Structure 1
């Protein structure tokens, strides 16, 4: 079957090891099933996999991809939840010390077919296209959990989203506005800032700019490049929710400001099956939809990876099959 995969890591030149070609058909063990993939979205996790981050050589070749939408064995349209809990785990699967994502321990979703635990298969709402649904289980679920599960913020408060154009950032803008937050963003270019305003952001600023006033919360996925600005932008008692560090994981901690102004720093990772169901209900009830930058056939995966690596994104990149 056709798949996008990696056979050897390349930390400094990830695109050099991206392969699109034939891989063996998946085998579904007891309790698992097979999904025919129709759409799969690209995430930074896939670039990290090409670099070998979290994916050692001994697990390769590995099919990439953490989320997908497609058809189950009965032909029903479904969405694949990307977090795989260990056997017997009960409760929030993101807290399972042995949890994994597709393309880490098990073959990923960037293929014509993928084997998944039956629990990870959810009905797709008819209101969402397959391409839109494929954007939800990683980036949009991450944003939903950050805003509505972890932050403790309420509608009417001001939220700063660092990095205006990525998949999680665009989801934060759309979901935040739909829920009644005042949403500010930062972006490196006028084009990215205008794109965020077009999505509904209330104000957009250059990266690192001094804000008109301090905010109640910051949604942080960038890491090293924006961390100091995030801390300095918060009101006393404010909260940073961080779910990624695409520019580097070791920012200056700004610890004096954190304790003196009593800030909260909260980590957030992906989301649960139940939260994915809630996100789909929200999309259905409010009419909000994932922002898709470009749809490409999987045979043109390299173009999508190049766009992400170079930062040429304005929403999600989706591969179709």
Structure 2
């Protein structure tokens, strides 16, 4: 049957073109502006490769050096038991920095996220200032925050916690505000119709919807900050990054590979744990309405 319909449609193709010309109109290719934008993008890409000295030959040649470093790293060997203990202590310190910095940032970012959201802010000026403050804190990388806080409080994990906190306040505050603005307004309208004020609308209309989303965002940030804490440790903000940089400077490549493997195993474990916790939170949030 489909073959007969197709044959009939092909036989009546001139009539179909006459009755439905818009259906047979060729799709526009963007015209001159689109072509000019494409050419400009390609020219900018080529200029960037040239200006930054991106060379495929250098990249291919560098693979030989990379393989040489990999052979130097095998087999992984932390060295003495004393060094292995120091490495494990540094790894635990890195996880502690990430956990404490993320937790403090999550608490501080909550009121800022409420002020930065259009549907829960106090005033338009407060909304604008809150947004710009979050943009400023998020625009400075955690490594830069670490260098700043090292100059203020000195070397050690305390500077690392402050660096993670400052960086995450901007990120989590931004994510919180977007989740709050996307909340269903019907719950807020229900609280208002029952005589609830502004705080009641936030407490009973907005927060129950967005808290599971916020919890998932905090767990993801904790996982990401475990890697960031390794980097800021290299500049002296505590954690295993200090041991990693020392081993690289002294060319202790088997110890470097053992540290890298420990970091990867920790990140994988935290990722698996956070995935289960996020699934449990989402399931728990969906259970009352099911």
Q: Which has the higher helix share?
A: 2
Identify whether the pair has TM-score above 0.5, normalized to the shorter chain: no
Larger CA Rg, structure 1 vs 2: 2
If asked which structure has higher relative contact order (CA below 8 Å, sep 6+), I would say 2
Q: Which has the higher strand share?
A: 1
User: Which TM-score applies when normalising by structure 1?
Assistant: 0.20
User: Which TM-score applies when normalising by structure 2?
Assistant: 0.21
